[in-house]
Chains A and B, each alone.
Chain A
Amino acid sequence: MERTNIRRIVVSGALGAVSAVMAVTPLGYLPWFGGASLTIMHIPVIIAAILEGPVAGAIVGLVFGVTSMVKAATAPIGPLDPLFANPLVSVLPRLFIGVVAWGVYRLFRGKLTPLAAGLAGAAGGITNTVLVLGALGLTAAAQLSGTFGVATSALPAVLATIALTNGLIEAAAAAVFTSAIITAWKGVEGARGASRLSDEERRQP
């Protein structure tokens, strides 16, 4: 009993630290095309939820959210940072990433672990995108329309576009990373049960 508690504490703390370091340094950004970047700082939240349950996921989500809020308020660099200094945008949505990821993982746990982990990762990524954008929209409607230069009524359309383009890619990336990390940690055999060297051997010279 004590051991489960300790496990939850140390795993949440360690993954919280990973998320915090990713939030505060450029490491949390995956360089993407055209100068844009994807965020991957929510991956540790998803991992914590899969390994130790929804409570751990919520705690790491809290650490992630608070860290991004503190960074936005003390060392802002981007146009959205003033909005992320608001805990309703940076903290509240992140509390739910873990719960959703855990739920999806539980649902698919019977199937292949890599698949379940990937789906949980995607679900967590989508939750992050939807809830954060939703919070941005709701709390900053008046200000946000200034940033994007559109009238307030067009706001939902703008957010939906972002959700679809950025959000889907981030969800796919989250699926890839979550699957890789969970299968590596659990020592699960990959799909083919062997290295990819056999592909190379079969290649035509």
Chain B
Amino acid sequence: MSLVTIQSLSFTYPGSSTQALSDINLSLAPGEYIAVVGANGSGKSTLIRCLNGLLVPPPGTVCVDGFDPAEPSGRVGARKAMSVVFQSPSDQIVASIVEEDVAFGLENLGVPYDEMHSRVDGALGAVDLLAERHRSPRFLSSGQQQRLAVAGALAMRPRVVAFDEATSMIDPNGRAAILGLMDNLVSSGITVIHVTHDMDEAARAQRIVVLSEGRLVFTGTPERLFASRDLDGYRLELPRSYDAALKLGLEPHAGEDAAGLGKRAARACGMDVLAMISRLEPAASPADGSPAGVTAFSVRDASMSYSAETAGGRPAVQRASIEIPAGTLVALVGKTGAGKSSLLQLLDALAIPDSGSVVSLGNTTSDRSADLRSLRMRAPLAVQRPESAIFEAYVGDEVAFGPRNQGIRGAGLVERVEAALDAVGLPFQTYRDVLTRTLSGGMKRRLALASILSLDPEALLLDEPTAALDPATRRDVLSLIQSYARQGRTVVMSTHSMDEAALADMVIVMREGAIAASGAPDTVFGDAWDESWGIGRPFSWTMAGAAKDELNMEAVR
């Protein structure tokens, strides 16, 4: 008896001419762990919403725990049986106290007082948030907020929990915690549906379902999917460990992590393994046209704290010192709260150091006579999720905003806009008069970057430019950044992905407001590596590390 049955489900959004879902057939058993993958627009989120009645499917096509969400009476049953954890952690939290939010669903269902309290205690314990139960969600990290959402889902005692790209907007540590929770749910008999872009995450599931343009094109084990060679057609990529194993000539295992693969490679390939692993990484192409000897940013013993914080708290940036030569691509890494955004703001003169000095593009930012406004346009900062600042109705006007503020008009203005839009993959002729409201998330990110590029700046400061993007857009943004750096402009970008950081010329590691290390990726991730930084290492470095350990152990034996 399957828990969720989908039969010939087709769905079209009102007012749309294309089918968002076409003839989907799928069955889920209790305790199953499935991943739903597919490119943007393939219908993944639509499918989840048809299951719990947020979108009304045609009657008789969907059955969740015996309930049909097409009927108003069945909707409640379907929603009790299937809870959903949504993508944005903070936008699904209703209450201002953690434990009260967990109770929200129970209040709605009219659960009696005592039972409500014991269920909330149980849910908080299951997600390890008991210590935070009286706090306000605004003080939780995004990972903790997402765990709170899972607690709220668990309190409803669902038989299925669907995660709608619930890991895309949280940092790697938080993501690992959520994935661990998914494993716990499955082992306690709850079905887990994990909608995701990330193939590494999808590989952990027992079964993968692939959607492409509204059709279900594949259902089967991860191994079968990766071996099938159809991935390009579905616009998907292989998980990193699978891909690396193939390249090393080993038999790939789905769901294997970097360390496991490294050990296996060491045992199979012996002493050659380290050389083979280093060949996996594309060689970094040297920058050309970079003016030698010029320093773009110079930070000397700078400290900065937000005045709203108590005196007992530590400064956001403590005694940081770094020299960034012009034309370098710099990756800024560190745990959430380490001070990356604050350092970027110091470089951009959005924040002035309380002590020490910052010299950006030749201007000392704490100098009272400095023209900070024009400095900020020469080294603009793209904040996290810059697409939230889009305000114009039309794409062309949005990109023109920056150069207009620089005083550029006429044909020159149009040229700037055209160059910027073409650079980000939104061709000028097509997109200049498109309404910004109609763009997808990935396109909006590109638009936001274009509206910074149109300033034709000497340097780019980017705060997590690839966060929450689908893999295709992420690749495009990264190659845009790399080409920009190769033209001789300075780029400083913060990131949570060490694989991205490995592409840079210089890596700066921040820890608790101070700069813990800086240098070429080979140095920082190699000899200078320190576990206590709290960040991971790029995939191949982790593999190499595990391989080395394995070789040493072999030598000892």
**Chain A in direct contact with chain B (Cβ < 8 angstroms):** yes
Chain A residues near B (Cβ < 8 Å): 183-185, 187, 189-190, 193-197, 200-201, 203-205
Interface of B is mostly: helix
Binds A, one of B297-305, B313-321, B406-414, B544-552: B406-414
Partner of B410, one of A189, A193, A203: A203
User: Is B394 among interface residues, defined by CB-CB distance under 8 A?
Assistant: yes
Contact check, B400 vs A184: say whether CB atoms are below 8 A apart: no
Q: Tell me which of A195, A197, A203, A204 has the highest count of chain B C-beta atoms within 10 A of its own C-beta.
A: A195
> Contacts A187-B435, A187-B437 hold; do A195 and B394 have CB atoms under 8 A apart?
yes
Contact check, A195 vs B395: say whether CB atoms are below 8 A apart: yes
21 examples of A-B residue contacts, CB within 8 angstroms = A184-B437, A185-B437, A187-B437, A190-B393, A195-B397, A195-B432, A196-B394, A196-B397, A197-B396, A197-B397, A197-B413, A197-B417, A200-B400, A200-B409, A200-B410, A200-B413, A200-B414, A201-B410, A201-B411, A201-B414, A205-B411
Partner of B411, one of A187, A190, A194, A200: A200
Q: For A189, give the chain B residue with the smallest CB separation.
A: B435
Partner of B433, one of A184, A185, A194, A204: A194
User: Is B307 among interface residues, defined by CB-CB distance under 8 A?
Assistant: no
Contact check, A184 vs B391: say whether CB atoms are below 8 A apart: yes
**Residues of the B chain whose Cβ atoms lie less than 8 Å from the Cβ of A189:** 393, 435
Q: For A1, give the chain B residue with the smallest CB separation.
A: B72
> Contacts A187-B438, A190-B393, A190-B394 hold; do A196 and B400 have CB atoms under 8 A apart?
yes
Interface of A is mostly: loop
**Residues of the B chain whose Cβ atoms lie less than 8 Å from the Cβ of A194:** 394, 396, 432-433
* In the bound complex, CA of A201 to CA of B417 (Å): 12
**A9 → chain B, closest Cβ, in Å?**
10
**Residues of the A chain whose Cβ atoms lie less than 8 Å from the Cβ of B413:** 197, 200
* In the bound complex, CA of A193 to CA of B396 (Å): 12
Number of interface residues of B (CB under 8 A): 20
**Residues of the A chain whose Cβ atoms lie less than 8 Å from the Cβ of B391:** 184
Q: For B396, give the chain A residue with the smallest CB separation.
A: A195
Instruction: Give 9 nearest A-B pairs by CB, closest first.
Output: A195-B396, A195-B394, A194-B433, A187-B437, A203-B410, A197-B396, A195-B397, A200-B413, A190-B393
**Residues of the B chain whose Cβ atoms lie less than 8 Å from the Cβ of A197:** 396-397, 400, 413-414, 417, 432-433
Residues 336-353 of chain B, each 1 if its beta carbon lies under 8 Å from chain A, else 0: 000000000000000000
Q: Tell me which of B417, B435, B438 has the highest count of chain A C-beta atoms within 10 A of its own C-beta.
A: B435
**B90 → chain A, closest Cβ, in Å?**
12
**Residues of the B chain whose Cβ atoms lie less than 8 Å from the Cβ of A201:** 410-411, 414
Residues 372-410 of chain B, each 1 if its beta carbon lies under 8 Å from chain A, else 0: 000000000000000000011111110010000000011
* In the bound complex, CA of A195 to CA of B421 (Å): 14
Contact check, B393 vs A184: say whether CB atoms are below 8 A apart: yes
Partner of B396, one of A184, A187, A196, A205: A196
* In the bound complex, CA of A189 to CA of B434 (Å): 9
Residues 48-83 of chain B, each 1 if its beta carbon lies under 8 Å from chain A, else 0: 000000000000000000000000000000000000
**Residues of the A chain whose Cβ atoms lie less than 8 Å from the Cβ of B438:** 187
**Residues of the B chain whose Cβ atoms lie less than 8 Å from the Cβ of A205:** 410-411
* In the bound complex, CA of A190 to CA of B410 (Å): 21
**Residues of the A chain whose Cβ atoms lie less than 8 Å from the Cβ of B400:** 195-197, 200
Q: For B390, give the chain A residue with the smallest CB separation.
A: A184
**Residues of the A chain whose Cβ atoms lie less than 8 Å from the Cβ of B395:** 195
**Residues of the A chain whose Cβ atoms lie less than 8 Å from the Cβ of B432:** 194-195, 197
Residues 124-153 (chain B) with a chain A CB within 8 angstroms: none
**B273 → chain A, closest Cβ, in Å?**
55
Further 16 A-B residue pairs, CB within 8 A, beyond A190-B393, A193-B433? A184-B391, A187-B438, A194-B394, A194-B396, A194-B432, A195-B396, A195-B433, A196-B396, A196-B400, A197-B396, A197-B417, A197-B432, A200-B409, A200-B413, A205-B410, A205-B411
